[in-house]
Amino acid sequence: PITTLCFARFDHRCWLVAGHISRVKESLPFLNMTESHEKSSDQRKRRSRWADGVDDAEASAELERTIAARSLSIRKQIEEAQRRALAARFPAPLILDDQGRQIDSQGNLVVTRVGDLATVQANRAPVPVPVPVKPPVPEPEPEVRPQLWHDPRVQSDRIGRGNRSFNFVKPGVYIRKAQNLRLRQMRDDLRAFRPIGQSSSSRLADALDNAVVGNANLVAVGSRIKDVATFIEPHVPDVEWWDLPLLASDSYNHIDLSKVTSLIQHPVPLKVRSEAPPPPMQSMVLTESEKKKVRRMRKLEKQRESQDMVRLGLAAPPQPRITLKNMMRVMPNEAVEDPTAVEAKARAEMEKRQIAHQLHNESRRLTPQQKAEKKRKKLEEDTSREVVVAIFRIDRLDNTQNRFKVSVSADDYKLSGCMIVFDECNLVVVEGGPRGIRKYTKLLLHRIKWNAENTFEDDEDEDEEARRPVFVNKCSLVWQGVVPKRGFSGFRMHSASSEDQARKFVSDKNLGHYWDMCRNFQEDQGDVMV
């Protein structure tokens, strides 16, 4: 009967009560009481057959009321559990009061407590430890020993240079100083023309003016101001006294200056021919690392320009550079399918790049005419302002090879001059730019072997003793200097049989002193450098 009653009174959610009747019995003590009550009623029936049936009806009604109350309590518990489960799935609604504070469903104020943030020991601020202040230790006074040259009555305190700090000048400081200096100068000028008997009030006014411009503590007492003697500049006369005897009247107005104006002449300034040209701009000397950096930056800039052209569609993207090393990485699929074809393609592109490189070099290679023109421009120098002249003396010029070197080298360096071959005195005069003269001087003094012999085939049959030089041949620099213009149009070689004939070659150019300098040159004097 209990199970039937539970199914009749409860809905489909209370089927657990019927399934677990034992648990319901344990949790509901009134069921045990009901069973005991039935047993007692049966006993009473057995004990008393004449008892009234009213007691059984009251007991049944009481039992029904108890079961209904318990079922209602169980239903409320189930609904509360469902509500809590539903609330756990969704966040609690935010409820605010009139003051904007959060409250719960019952209207109680929700207090949110913020816990202390955890931090590590390293983030904690160090506690300042007070540093004990040591009392200053008085410095011991230096012991002064009496010296013969020391006078204790003389006090000389050295003024040391203090520490200077970097401070900006306030705007207007030097402007005010300049204004004060001008005002003082103006007052000094006015005071110089002040009468001697000036009143004390005026002198006091000057002192006050000084106070306005300068420091107020530097105002001088009026009684201490001394009178300055007035200097009166003499009046400039209309006519100077030394002109009075020469003038008809006391003025210069009637003088006619047109008679003497034509007699005044100013020399025309001449431009110096040997004026030094302006110094060339000094090029910046870079280190090896800086040169590499410049080349790398220039290369990157060129690469960026090509990439920009490709992005804008103005140039085609470069094809991948295929080699035997990277063909598996550049063309992986084709290399696996047909490695022979990929290798042939790589070799063909390598050969194509080699041919393009050679063609590029050939296009940049200069022709023989261009090479000669480049060499000529390189050796060509400007001799319009000054011409450098060098005079050499050679003891003997019997060797034809040495003659050829002297003549051809002068033409190569674009030098003009002459070579006079004489028995005991051989003269070489060259003129040109400083660079060509410097190279030619180095050639004659250091590079040419003047004691060498001829190496022609005709000399092979000669005796070795006859071909050996009897004396030491030598080349010396007699003089080197600067002249305004060239004296020769080209380089020529002349052979002279006498000294007069040799001197005549250079005398025709008004350069006979060149031969005299070479003839009178002494070896012990050394080379002459001017």
Mean pLDDT of 413-430: 90
The pLDDT score that the predictor gives to residue 464 is 55
Q: pLDDT digits over 400-415, tens only? A: 899 999 999 999 899 9
Tell me which range, 17-26, 123-132, 312-321, is most confidently predicted by mean pLDDT.
312-321
Same domain, 360 and 404: no
Q: Is residue 395 located within the same domain as residue 505?
A: yes
HSE, CB side, 13 Å, CA atoms: give it for residue 171. 0
Residues 494 and 433 in one domain: yes
Give mean pLDDT, residues 141-153.
Answer: 72
Average pLDDT over residues 450-474: 60
202 and 81 co-located in one domain: no
Please state the rounded mean pLDDT for residues 240-250.
Answer: 87
Q: Is the pLDDT of residue 337 over 70?
A: yes
Domain end among 72, 89, 106: 89
Residue 147: inside a domain: no
What one-letter code names the amino acid at 278? P
Q: What pLDDT shows up at residue 362?
A: 94
Q: How many CB atoms lie within 10 A of CB 416?
A: 20
* pLDDT for the residue 311: 92
Residue 204 confidence class, pLDDT cut points 50, 70, 90: very low
Task: Look up the domain containing 222 and give its range.
Answer: 173-251
* Highest mean pLDDT, choosing among 28-42, 53-67, 172-186, 251-265: 172-186
Residue 340 forms part of a structural domain: yes
Judged against a pLDDT cut of 80, whether residue 241 lies above it is answered with: yes
Q: How confident is the model at residue 365 (pLDDT cuts 50, 70, 90)?
A: very high
Mean pLDDT over 489-496 rounds to 90
pLDDT digits (tens, 9 = 90+) for 256-268: 878 777 778 888 8
Q: What pLDDT does 482 receive?
A: 92
Structure tokens at 468: 């050996």
Can you give the pLDDT at residue 122? 64
What per-residue confidence (pLDDT) applies to 115? 59
Residue 512 pLDDT > 60, yes or no?
Answer: yes
Assess whether 352 and 400 both reside in one domain. no
Is 509 a domain residue? Answer: yes
pLDDT grade for 303, boundaries at 50, 70 and 90? very high
Helix axes 2-9, 54-89, angle to 10 degrees: 50
pLDDT(205) > 60: no
pLDDT reported for residue 264: 80
Query: Do 468 and 345 share a structural domain?
Result: no
**Pairing assessment for the beta strands 416-421 and 491-495 based on DSSP bridges:** parallel
End-to-end CA distance of the chain: 150
Q: Would you say residue 210 has pLDDT above 60?
A: no
260 assigned to some structural domain: no
C-alpha–C-alpha distance, residues 204 and 192, integer Å: 16
Residue 177 lies in a domain: yes
Q: How far apart are CA 291 and CA 286, in angstroms?
A: 6
Instruction: Say if residue 470 is in the same domain as residue 406.
Output: yes
Least confident window among 26-30, 280-284, 313-317: 26-30
Tokens found for residue 166? 């970097």
Co-location of 452 and 325 in the same domain:
no
Q: Kindly tell me if the per-residue pLDDT of 118 is higher than 80.
A: no
Least confident window among 109-123, 330-344, 403-417: 109-123
Residue 333 and residue 241 in one domain: no
Residue 211 has pLDDT above 50, yes or no: no
- Identify whether 398 is part of a domain: yes
Phi-psi bin for 441: left (phi > 0), alpha (psi -120 to 50), beta?
A: alpha
- What's residue 323's pLDDT? 92
Q: Which of 119-128, 130-139, 180-189 has the highest mean pLDDT?
A: 180-189
**DSSP structure class, residue 216:** G
Tell me if 511 sits within 8 A of 487, measured CB to CB: yes
- Of 241-245, 290-294, 345-349, where does mean pLDDT reach its minimum? 241-245
Q: Is residue 159 scored above 80 in pLDDT?
A: no
- 387 and 360 within one domain: no
CATH number at residue 422: 3.30.70.100
Residue 76 to residue 501: CA distance in whole angstroms: 152
Identify whether residues 515 and 397 lie together within a single domain. Answer: yes
Residue 500 falls within a domain, yes or no? Answer: yes
Is pLDDT of 131 > 50?
Answer: yes
Tell me the whole-structure pTM to 2 decimals.
Answer: 0.38
Grade residue 341 by pLDDT with cuts at 50, 70 and 90. Answer: very high
Confidence class of residue 437 from pLDDT cuts 50, 70 and 90? Answer: very high
Q: Distance between CA 372 and CA 391 in Å, rounded?
A: 28
> pLDDT at position 376, please?
84
| Residue 530 C-beta-side C-alpha neighbours within 13 Å | 11
Of residues 529 and 360, which shows the higher confidence score?
360
Residue 462 has a pLDDT of 54
Asked if the model's pLDDT at residue 445 lies above 90, the reply is yes
- DSSP letters spanning 217-261: GGPPPGGGPPPPPP-PPPPPPSS-TTTGGG-SSSSSTT--THHHH
User: Could you tell me what percent of the chain has a pLDDT over 70?
Assistant: 72
Q: Is 185 domain-assigned? A: yes
Residue with the larger pLDDT of the pair 367 and 219: 367
Report which of residues 34 and 155 the model is more confident about.
155
Centre a 10 Å sphere on the Cβ of residue 359 and count the other Cβ atoms it contains: 10
What's the domain count of the chain? 4
Looking at the structure, tell me whether residues 470 and 396 fall in a common domain.
Answer: yes
Mean pLDDT value across the chain: 78
pLDDT at 212: 47
Residues 322 and 349: beta-carbon distance below 8 Å: yes
- Point out the domain boundary residue: 89, 119, 141: 89
User: Last residue of a domain, which of 89, 124, 159?
Assistant: 89
